[in-house]
Every structure is written in C-alpha cells, then in structure tokens.
Structure 1
Amino acid sequence: MAVFALRSDDQYLVDTDGGSYVVDAGSDTCTCPDHGIRGRRCKHLRRVDMEIGIGRVPAPGERVAACAVCGAGVFVPAREAGAVLCGAHRPAVGSFVRDREADKLLVVTGVTRTRADEYRTSDGTRISDYGTNAEYGDHEPVVEAVYVGNAMRSPGPLDVSGRKRYGFPASRLRRLAPDERPHKPVIGI
C-alpha cells in the first residue's frame, strides 16, 4: 500500500493491489467500497494516519517544500510562502555559528523566510548584492546574526542586546561541531 498527499489540503491517494482510493483525513472518509457500504473506518484511513504519524507524508494543512540549501523535503504549513530550511541547515536562535567568509564567531538572532535576493538592509541593499555573498544562493533564506567579537572574554552570559544585527544567506554560516561551541549562555536576543 502506497500513500501520496494530493494537492488538496486533507486528501491522500492510497494505491493498493485492489485499486486506488482517495482518503479525506479531514472528514475521515474514503472512496473505497468497504468504507462506503459499511460506513466503518477502513484500512486506507488507518494507513494514512500511520503514514502521517511516522512523517512519511505531510499532515492535513501541510505541504512538502524543498530546503533552499540541499533540496531535502520539509513539511511546512500549506499556505505559508517563502524559502525554507531543513533541520540540518536551520540554525537555532541563540546558537553559535561561524561566518565562512570572515571566519568569525556569531550568534543567531533570527531565521527568516525571506530570500537573500529579496531581503534588504537598512540602507536598501539586498543581501545577495554584497560581494562576499556572491558564492551563496540568492534563493536561500536570510539568517540574522550578531558578531560576538571580544564579548566572549567578559564574565557572565553573553549579552547581544544592542549589537548590530547582520543578514546572511543561510549557507554562508557554518554550524559548529559540539567541541567547537562556546559554553556560554546568550541573553538579549
């Protein structure tokens, strides 16, 4: 039995040896004769529930989008637009990353859905127009971050409030391996 999400929010195609049926997860119905005649919950409805539960197909109200960095499938809200990142390429807010161009340490303050060729800085420049971003995808979402600088030497938590926030194409920032990560709490994000 194979299950495929249809473009309609809550509908799935279930292919079996005996035929193909449409399951509507929102109304808990199936086009199979078993469901129509007996009016009971059929194996196709149960199979769709199982596939949703283990993450093989998007849940009702979700769709599959491609990660802007690697192309892997990511479930997102059906009506949400913009660039997306998979778990491997989406840094957590508050995490430390390294700028591939400047080899400097930063703290992530936000992950947007706005593409680098659409995101503009305060002076109106697109992130993709900066020369140091030429090697990174214009289609990638922008990650906002602050440079840590000398603040790591200060005692106590790292306070990033008041520091200038910069935007970067997602793949320009490298996530740190566990042994590279500073063990310092971050506040003021």
Structure 2
Amino acid sequence: MRRKTTLPADGLTGRARRARVEPMAVRPLRDGRYVVETDGGTYVVDIETRTCTCPDNAIRHARCKHLRRVAIEITTGEVPPPGRRTATCAVCGDKTFVPMDARGPQLCRTHEHHPGDLVHDRETGSLLVVTRALHTRADETTTEPGRLVSEFETNTEYGDHEPVFEAVYLGSLPATVGLSGLSGLEGVRTYRFPASRLSRVEQGFVGSRSLGDQLVRA
C-alpha cells in the first residue's frame, strides 16, 4: 500500500494547488481506474472518462483535485497509465510499466529489444538483428542443440532469469531483407541470447528504409 504524499505547490492556486499540496495516495486498479485515498475520504478515478466519485466531480462536474493528482502521477511515472501494470526490469531492477497481460520476465525501455533492432553482442563484438522476443527465461529456454541458453559458458555473466531474444548475424542477412523486412529471413539461422548480452545500436534497423541505406549508415 502506498503512503499519502504531497507535492510542491509550484505557485498554483485552487484545485490545481490542492491536487499537489494535500496528502494523497494513488493506487491503480486492474480495470484501469485508480483509488485515491485522502484525509477526507477515498474515491475512485477513471482518467479516461475524466470522472471521479467525489462530490466535486460527480455533482459539480469539475475537474477535481483527485483527477488532477492521478494525471500528475501518471505523467511523472509514479503510477502506470491505464491498461498497464508495474513490473521490475529483469536486467537492472528498475520499475517499468508493461501491458496487463504481459507474461514472463520484463524489461525497461533501456534494456528492451524489438524485432528489427540492430544490436551488438557484448561477448563477440558481432552485430546482429533481433528477429523475435521469446518472453521466456534463459534457464528455461533451449537452443537448437538442445542446451539451455543459460548453460553456455559465454552466457554465465548474464542473468539466468533474463528474457531470451532470437537474432541473426548481420552478415547473414539476404540483400532483399531491406525490401521485405523480417519476413525475408526464412531459412536464415537464428541464435538465442539473454537480454543483457545484447546492447542496442539502432532501433528499427530493419524497417522502412532499404538495407543498403542502413548499411551505409552503420
């Protein structure tokens, strides 16, 4: 449970000021709404419909201090936006927000990889392109030879609990991949890596631009 906190007034007045200086605790619900606990009572806020169960909003139809406080805490990253929940990054341990139905270990924006990203292998120095996120841990994901990703000596410095990504070596990409995108990678051998072994070089490397243009930039 979160404790009630206050925020700097920032020279504001009226409801905008009360939303910051009055002690409140905001707690997200699984249905996308938020419970706001104050010294005067507890209310439920729906940020998407801009409604609150307090009299100021329900009767006067005002943008009450509870609606304002929820909006502030979403903007500052204190609570997740509607449709997302709080999770812990499997690499750095920082708080991150993920979809409600997200499964497996999660990553923050810094350590996340997406299909089409150009990445650097910290062990070999090679460049690869991410093809797929598996959403499974390194100690429960096997490679083509049947070994767990976490069992390889080159992966001992990376967390067994980290999510695994599939990637292809840049040099193995066919010349047509720039036009067809990742759909042109059928038959190219993929490899599996724990998340923190790969560091992003360029997001969306394989995408709308031609591969030739991308290689010149790389």
> What's the TM-score once normalised by structure 1's chain length?
0.74
1:63 aligned counterpart, secondary structure: strand
The answer to whether the Cα contact below 8 Å between 1:11 and 1:24 also exists between their aligned partners in 2 is yes
CA spacing shift, 1:130–1:118, aligned 2, 3 Å: same
Do the aligned partners of 1:23 and 1:45 also contact (CA within 8 Å) in 2?
A: no
How many angstroms apart in 1 are the aligned matches of 2:35 and 2:74? 13
Q: Which residue in 2 is equivalent to 1:46?
A: 68
Partner of residue 86 from structure 1, selected from 93, 97, 108: 108
The letter of the residue matching 1:173 is: L
Question: Aligned partner of 1:112: which letter?
Answer: L
Alpha-carbon spacing, 1:156–1:85, altered in 2? closer, same or farther (3 Å): closer
More helix by share: 2
Aligned length: 179
Q: Is the 8 A contact 2:34 2:45 kept in 1?
A: yes
Q: What's the TM-score, normalizing by structure 2?
A: 0.66
Q: How far is 1:167 from its partner?
A: 0.8
Say if 2:191 is the partner of 1:166.
Answer: yes
Q: 1:183 to 1:88 in 2, by over 3 A?
A: farther
Q: Which residue of 1 aligns with 2:171?
A: 149
Range that drifts further, 73-82 or 157-166: 157-166
RMSD: 3.4
C-alpha contact 2:28 2:79 (8 A) present in aligned 1:
no
Instruction: Identify unmatched segments of 5+ residues in structure 2.
Output: 1-19, 204-210
The change in CA–CA distance for 1:161 and 1:14 in structure 2 (over 3 A counts) is same
Looking at structure 1, the residues matched to 81 and 173 of structure 2 have their Cα atoms a distance apart, in angstroms, of 44
Q: Which residue of 1 aligns with 2:122?
A: 100
Matches of 2:100 and 2:27, distance apart in 1: 12
Decide which structure has greater strand share.
Answer: 1
- SS for the counterpart of 1:102 is coil
Kept after mapping to 2: 8 A contact 1:117/1:139: yes
CA shift for structure 1 position 133:
1.0
TM-superposed deviation, 1:97: 1.4
Q: Any conservation in 2 of the 1:11–1:22 contact (CA below 8 Å)?
A: no
Cα distance in 2, alignment partners of residues 138 and 60 from structure 1: 31
Partner residue in 2 for 1:58: 80
Task: Name the CA shift for 1:177/1:157 in 2 (closer, same or farther; >3 Å).
Answer: closer
Residues in 1 aligned to 2:200 and 2:185: alpha-carbon distance in whole angstroms? 19
Superposition deviation, residue 81 in structure 1: 2.1
User: Alignment partner of 1:110: what SS?
Assistant: strand
TM-aligned CA distance change 1:44 to 1:183, over 3 Å: farther
1: CA distance, partners of 2:155 / 2:102: 26
Counterpart Cα distance in 1 of 2:142 and 2:158:
16
Residue 145 (structure 2) pairs with residue 116 (structure 1):
no
Percentage of identical aligned residues:
45
Q: Give 1:172 deviation, angstroms.
A: 0.7
